[in-house]
Amino acid sequence: MTRRPMKLFSPKYPTKIGTWNVRTLYQSGKSLQTAKEMDRYSIEILGLSEVRWNTSGMTTLNTGHTIIHSGNKNATDTHDKGVGFMLTKKAKQSLLEWNPVSSRIITARFDTKFQKTTIIQVYSPTNNADEEEKDDFYNSLQTTVNSVPKRDILMILGDLNAKVGKDRTGREREMGPNGIGEMNENGEIFADFCAVNSLVIGGTLFPHKNCHKVTWVSPNGVTENQIDHIAISQRWRSSLQDVRNKRGADIASDHHLIIAKIQLKLLSTKKAKSRRKKFNVDLFKDPKVVQDYHILLQNKFSVLENLHDEETSINTAWEMTRDFIVQACEETVGYLQQNRKQWMSENTWKIVNERRQVKEKVLTAITRQQKKQTQEQYSNKDKEVKKSCKQDKRNFVEQLAKEAEAACSKGDTKTLYNITKQLSGKPPTSNTPIKDKDNNTLTKLEDQLERWKEHFEQIVNQNVVLGPFFYGGEVISAHSDKFQARKINFILA
């Protein structure tokens, strides 16, 4: 029985989605830092540009976040470009399908409360790129948009490298009055694309300060541009509550995190069912815990024994009994907590926080001298983070090796197998993408099952060809008259 997907967007409360050019996730600790920033700002879906992971696939981090990514086709290619999504558990359950179009485009479709939602994360060529490269990108993006169901809520996120500016003459439907700067060539192409596909650029709609609209800052801290965007279908413009950057988010990227708040308006809603919690029953192996549980339960049941039968109905007695048992379990063993082992140490997270504080100084610096000094401090602190992450990774691997050695000496083969699998380098929660006969990645569950069906039909349903074999001291062919005669005699016997 397949589990129904969880609805992502709520009509009562806004849902936060974001986009971020992370510069790279091909670096120790970068994914965990991104996940922590995602949790800090309560983001459900985070689009990622410049991931720099080759091939495509789905990976679950030990924090519970899921990354779906699309990069260069071959694993041996240069680690550049790459796009993806980082999803929370709720967003992962709501995911219906995803499609790794190319190293610059990836799509994901989600089940929402009112309407299906398709999100396209992109990483556009720069403004100085060749015209042919830009045309190929926008032709592929247009083909991707054409394949989206017409009734879906469509959103396009990512690093478009497009300055749309604040002059919206003749573009009132796809742009708002709150852009910044002057439009460049990429901005004109993107604005025309939005006009053709009835999209509105969210970053130009809301009246924020310029410092909250800027999405990219040059290394010297002088040049600032708005080149990362979140666009949504004009039909669903009213569902977009806000779009702005979060300059406090820090993963050593020259791009700011962009967050959009989306809230769908419905007439009626159903109350979401709460997930059942499990008690930590393993603690009952301790005799002292069992004794405390029995004493506590007897004291609670003594209240029930003092009640008269005439005053208490069967249903009331049952409800009180159930509540007493639950309360006794809560006070003695508590609920089961899923603790995932983090390989990054507290000291590393402390340095990460220090780097974030230095970034705030960079943002608030006024003079060029102050900006230069704070940028140097930020670069040094970033080097400390990278060095500490590498050291934590080595310590984590050494600790796993010691645990594997201890498990082997005790004969604990299950723990030994899990640690060996983890040390082998292949993430245990990654799944290899299933491809069809034309080597195209299949992301829909129905298509994957159909491909497995074809695979087994091709392997199992084959005519078996028997070769020659020895019988009675002589070689007999499977197609000879002598073999057929022996087979008939065997059947008759």
The string of DSSP letters for 114-131 reads SS-EEEEEEEPPPTTS-H
pLDDT digits (tens, 9 = 90+) for 372-406: 899 899 999 999 999 999 999 889 888 888 888 88
The mean-pLDDT minimum among 167-181, 362-376, 421-435 falls in 421-435
- Identity of the amino acid at 470: F
- What percent of the chain is modeled with pLDDT above 70? 84
Of 90-94, 118-122, 303-307, where does the model show the most confidence? 118-122
- Strand 469-471 and strand 105-110: the pairing is unpaired
- What percent of the chain is modeled with pLDDT above 90? 49
- Strand 117-123 and strand 45-49: the pairing is unpaired
Q: Kindly tell me if the per-residue pLDDT of 417 is higher than 80.
A: yes
Average pLDDT of the chain to the nearest whole number: 84
How would you classify residue 181: left for phi > 0, otherwise alpha for psi between -120 and 50, otherwise beta?
left
pLDDT given for residue 119 in this prediction: 97
Query: Among residues 137, 233, 145, 225, which one has the least CA distance to residue 183?
Result: 225
Query: What phi and psi values does residue 22 have, to the nearest 5 degrees?
Result: -85, -5
pLDDT given for residue 5 in this prediction: 47
Q: Are 157 and 230 in contact (CB under 8 A)?
A: yes
pLDDT given for residue 477 in this prediction: 57
Q: Give the three-state DSSP class for 409.
A: helix
Cβ-proximal residues to 332 (8 Å cutoff; 6+ apart), any chain:
283, 289, 292, 293, 296
Written as six digits, the tokens of 379 are: 């670069």
Written as six digits, the tokens of 84 are: 């993806």
**Residue 421: pLDDT band with limits 50, 70, 90:** confident
Please indicate whether residue 311 or residue 107 has the higher confidence score (pLDDT).
107
**Residue 229: pLDDT band with limits 50, 70, 90:** very high
Q: Is the dihedral of CA 476, 480, 482, 487 positive or negative?
A: positive
Q: Kindly tell me if the per-residue pLDDT of 464 is higher than 80.
A: no
Query: Among residues 18, 27, 22, which one has the least CA distance to residue 47?
Result: 18
Only one residue has tokens 């997270």, namely: 349
**Residue 104: pLDDT band with limits 50, 70, 90:** very high
**Residue 469: pLDDT band with limits 50, 70, 90:** low
Cβ-proximal residues to 120 (8 Å cutoff; 6+ apart), any chain:
105, 106, 107, 141, 144, 145, 148, 154, 155, 156, 157, 158
Q: Kindly tell me if the per-residue pLDDT of 218 is higher than 80.
A: yes
Q: Are 318 and 302 in contact (CB under 8 A)?
A: no
Q: How many CA atoms lie within 13 A of 351 on its CB side?
A: 20
Cβ-proximal residues to 65 (8 Å cutoff; 6+ apart), any chain:
35, 38, 86, 87, 88, 89
- Identity of the amino acid at 278: K
326-345 b/e (C-beta count within 10 Å ≥ 16 → b): eebbeebbeeeeeeeeebbe
pLDDT given for residue 457 in this prediction: 82
Residue 341 DSSP label: P
Only one residue has tokens 């402390």, namely: 350
Query: What phi and psi values does residue 356 have, to the nearest 5 degrees?
Result: -65, -40
Q: Kindly tell me if the per-residue pLDDT of 466 is higher than 90.
A: no
* Spatial distance between the Cα atoms of 323 and 315, rounded to a whole number of angstroms: 12
Cβ-proximal residues to 483 (8 Å cutoff; 6+ apart), any chain:
476, 477
Q: Rounded mean pLDDT of 177-202?
A: 94
Q: Kindly tell me if the per-residue pLDDT of 339 is higher than 80.
A: no
pLDDT digits (tens, 9 = 90+) for 154-178: 999 999 999 999 999 999 999 999 9
Q: Rounded mean pLDDT of 78-105?
A: 94
**Residue 124: pLDDT band with limits 50, 70, 90:** very high
* Spatial distance between the Cα atoms of 19 and 201, rounded to a whole number of angstroms: 14
How many other C-beta atoms can be found within 10 angstroms of the C-beta atom of residue 136? 14
Residue 279 DSSP label: B
* Spatial distance between the Cα atoms of 120 and 99, rounded to a whole number of angstroms: 9
Q: Rounded mean pLDDT of 94-121?
A: 92
- Identity of the amino acid at 274: S
Q: Rounded mean pLDDT of 422-428?
A: 61
Strand order in the sheet with 153-159: 95-100, 105-110, 117-123, 153-159, 228-233, 199-201
* Spatial distance between the Cα atoms of 52 and 69, rounded to a whole number of angstroms: 9
* Spatial distance between the Cα atoms of 458 and 181, rounded to a whole number of angstroms: 60
Displacement of CA 81 from its chain's centroid (Å): 18
Angle, vertex CA 162, rays to CA 160 and CA 49, nearest 5: 20
Q: To 10 degrees, what angle do helices 131-146 and 185-196 make?
A: 20
pLDDT given for residue 438 in this prediction: 81
Strand order in the sheet with 15-21: 56-60, 66-70, 83-87, 45-49, 15-21, 257-262, 240-246
pLDDT given for residue 269 in this prediction: 46
* Spatial distance between the Cα atoms of 375 and 380, rounded to a whole number of angstroms: 9
Distance set, CA 136 to CA 174, 228, 447 (Å): 23, 20, 28
* Spatial distance between the Cα atoms of 273 and 267, rounded to a whole number of angstroms: 19
Q: Rounded mean pLDDT of 58-70?
A: 93
